[in-house]
Amino acid sequence: MKKRILILGGGFGGVYTAVFLEKLMTKAEREATEIAIVSRDNYMVFQPLLPEVISGSVQLNHVISPIRRLARTARLYTREVEAIDIAAHTVKLSPGAKPVPLVISYDHLVIAMGTRLDYNKIPGMREHAFPFKYLSDALSLRNQLVLALEEAELENDPELRRALLTFVVAGGGFSGVECVAEMNDFLREAVHSYHQISEKDLRLILVQFDDRILPELTEGLSIFAHQLLVKRGVEIQIGRRLMAVSADTAIVEDLKTKQIETIRTRTTVATVPAAAHPILSTIPLPKDRGRIKVDEGLEVPEAPGVWALGDCALVKQVDGKFSPATAQHALRQAKTCAQNILASLRGTRKHVFAFTGLGKMGSLGRRSAVAEICGVRLKGLLAWLLWRGVYVTKFPGLDGQLRLIVDLILDIFLPRDITQFRLFPEEDVHREHFEAGERVFKEGDVGDKVYFIAKGEAIVLRGDQPLAVLNQGEMFGEAALACNHPRNATVIARTSLELVVVNRVAFHELIGCLPGLRYNIETSMNQRIGAVLIWTGKFGSQWPGSERDHAQPAVR
């Protein structure tokens, strides 16, 4: 029976381990071994180029590479890893077309599942901030920029218009700086196609926790980057942290003075530090802050045959430092990992991971970058040319490199694309977060959603008159939907408030097919009519597709 090397993760670490294994195996070894990769997607994302997708200077599908073309002989399972059983040497994958999970056994296991964004540290981040890690994040952020411009163009309320044209990016590391630089370039060029918006209406804010941006670089380069971004119109707030996000605001705290600023914005991007992959917390392997501890050959000493690399592993380098979470390290680790799996199968000596990094580069948008390569510091156009050259040559596959070159050349001559893709319809059920004092909706607004309180308290007002306080488990906003009337009360968060929100279509679908739910909602609304006189007596006559029959529920 063939031995199986099972690789979890289709990023730099996982895919390149398979690529190096294919390269290094003899014909006999290839026949005796199966390489299998499990990845959520059937492509690998070249993350260093993700910021370019925001501005459209590189096409979305030109920053990805199909895994099947990179690791040609490997068997690809496009599935989600659900559980890893180290003792049984098996991995459970999510069900596919057939609704049963798939369990695969392995002889060698390579864990390269990267990290996840940590949503838990900042209230409202999951609900309202735009993350910036995956391919879909770059696209949805780009769409949001265009949407904000479209809305601002038509908006008469000056406060809302200002919020639409204010963009906050939290995190002044490489991802945050590259992201804000691309957003800035894109927006400042795009506004010329709008009649009511000018460049001076735009406000882009970069919020950085440290006392300088790009702290990974020497101070001179970080000052250069700071000054260049400021000159190009980005406001940089140093020594501040993003405290909370809501639909309308980014709340920022000054770390020294403890002063809190509420920035009105509809677009907050969080490039906050990533957290360990949650599946890893379930496996009994030694870890440090969630990263799997491995030896200098990338094997887990306590579990021979289990290997870990990339962002999810804690790899000690020969210089005594731990490898940073970068693609260049994941790629080199992949080679060492492949060599050592083969050494283990062949019974030969293992290699030591000897790479300590070539340098760091960061793009600042519009033909400028900063770079520190092998001790040489570069900035401006030269650094930018080097940055582009390196990533084009590092991009996997000649076809991918050619596509990239064409995009980068066209970007010099053509205006930025400002079309908006409507690929992500608003979810029928989603979560929203409000900080104390923020308004959920106001009297007279269109009733488009129903709200269920998951956590916190809300206060209901008519005019200035408080009518009721609503708590966890209670619902509000249903009357306007049921009666097809504007909101007849205002609801404000009394404390930090987490809501589960159901949109109009989903609400009517539920009501239409669940008479029990409809009955309960009617009863609760009738009680409120008696108790606080919020809701109008017209309720009930306009339930979708129904007579006002107050039918008893079939299901309660």
Which H, E and C letters describe 488-511, residue by residue? Answer: CCEEEECCCEEEEEEEHHHHHHHH
327 or 482: CB nearest ligand FAD: 327
Q: Is 75 helix (H, G, I), strand (E, B) or coil?
A: strand
Q: Is 296 helix (H, G, I), strand (E, B) or coil?
A: coil
- Least distance in Å: CB of 209 to ligand FAD? 18
The residues binding ligand FAD (CB under 6 A) are 9-14, 38-41, 47-48, 50, 80-81, 112-114, 132-133, 174-175, 277, 279, 310-312, 325-328, 330
277 or 335: CB nearest ligand FAD: 277
- Least distance in Å: CB of 311 to ligand FAD? 4
- Least distance in Å: CB of 102 to ligand FAD? 12
326 or 368: CB nearest ligand FAD: 326
- Least distance in Å: CB of 454 to ligand FAD? 25
- Least distance in Å: CB of 309 to ligand FAD? 7
Residue 185 CA, distance from chain mean position = 21
Given a contact cutoff of 8 angstroms between Cβ atoms, the answer to whether 267 and 168 are in contact is: yes
347: exposed, middle or buried (Cβ count in 10 Å: 0-12, 13-18, 19+): exposed
DSSP 196-258: S--GGG-EEEEEESSSSS-TTS-HHHHHHHHHHHHHTTEEEEESEEEEEE-SSEEEEEETTT-
333 or 496: CB nearest ligand FAD: 333
12 or 434: CB nearest ligand FAD: 12
Q: Is 25 helix (H, G, I), strand (E, B) or coil?
A: coil
Contacts 24+ apart (CB under 8 A), 537-545: 538/483, 538/485, 539/479, 539/482, 539/483, 540/482, 541/483, 542/482, 542/483, 542/484, 543/482, 543/511, 543/518, 544/508, 544/511, 544/512, 545/512
Return the DSSP state at 415. Answer: P
175 or 267: CB nearest ligand FAD: 175
- Least distance in Å: CB of 134 to ligand FAD? 8
- Least distance in Å: CB of 49 to ligand FAD? 8
- Least distance in Å: CB of 514 to ligand FAD? 33
Sheet holding 108-111, edge to edge: 75-78, 33-39, 3-8, 108-111, 306-308
179 or 453: CB nearest ligand FAD: 179
Q: Is 414 helix (H, G, I), strand (E, B) or coil?
A: coil
- Least distance in Å: CB of 180 to ligand FAD? 12
187 or 371: CB nearest ligand FAD: 371
80: left (phi over 0), alpha (psi -120 to 50) or beta: beta
308 or 460: CB nearest ligand FAD: 308
